Amino acid sequence: MYSQKMSLLASTPVPHGRFANQQGFTLLELIIVCLLITVSLAFSVPNLRQALVIDQLAANSRKVMALIKEVRNLAAQKQQPYLIHFDLDRKKIWYQQDVPASKEEKKQEHHHPSIQFPPSVRIQDLQIGTTEKKTSGEVVLWVNRQGYLEQTILHLADDQDNIISLIFSPFYRTIKAYDTYISLE
């Protein structure tokens, strides 16, 4: 068997001269490919940068929606009211039980997840019910033990002034999101 392989290798012609190195690319082909890659990157990088910034705003709005749904479900499940805190200056949202029943629950209230927005995303304003819009300070949203809350609208914005409006309905579990500024009035 070994001798058969050696005879096959020996009978394979080995190219000589000009055609000995036909497996590579020419310099012109490599230059054209590099030029095409450069042109495509020049057009895609600005769009990619904008998409990453807008995606950051959308990702943070999805986090807020998930947190609100979680609190509403917890309130209905445990039959306990909850408070959702919006710190507009520090760009942070967290929740806690309204009135902890025992010392053990007081210790556990600090373990609830919170949202800290990145520097490029901010809370533009927040309106709960018919109160005036708040642009600074801390605002507290009360969720009753059935998971109901007042009609609330939260506006998130980024550095390029893209806005996402989140509307929390009192009785519906769905949260409506719009990519424009929406007012309750």
Range 160-166 average pLDDT: 90
- Quick one: pLDDT at residue 100? 62
Listed by start position, the domains of the chain span 30-178
Percent of the chain's residues with pLDDT above 90? 37
Mean pLDDT computed over every residue of the chain:
82
Mean pLDDT on 128-145:
89
In this predicted structure, the answer to whether residue 185 has a pLDDT above a threshold of 80 is no
Q: How far apart are the first and last CA of the chain?
A: 89
Reported as a single tens digit per residue, the pLDDT across 32-41 is: 999 999 888 8
User: What pLDDT digit, counting tens, does each position of 57-85 carry?
Assistant: 888 999 999 999 999 999 999 999 999 99
The class (CATH top level) of 30-178 is alpha beta
In this prediction, residues 119-138 reach a mean pLDDT of: 89
pLDDT at 143: 92
The answer on pLDDT for 15 being more than 70 is: no
pLDDT of residue 11: 56
Confidence class for position 2, pLDDT limits 50, 70, 90: low
Give the residue with greater pLDDT, 170 vs 4. 170
- pTM, whole model, 2 decimals? 0.66
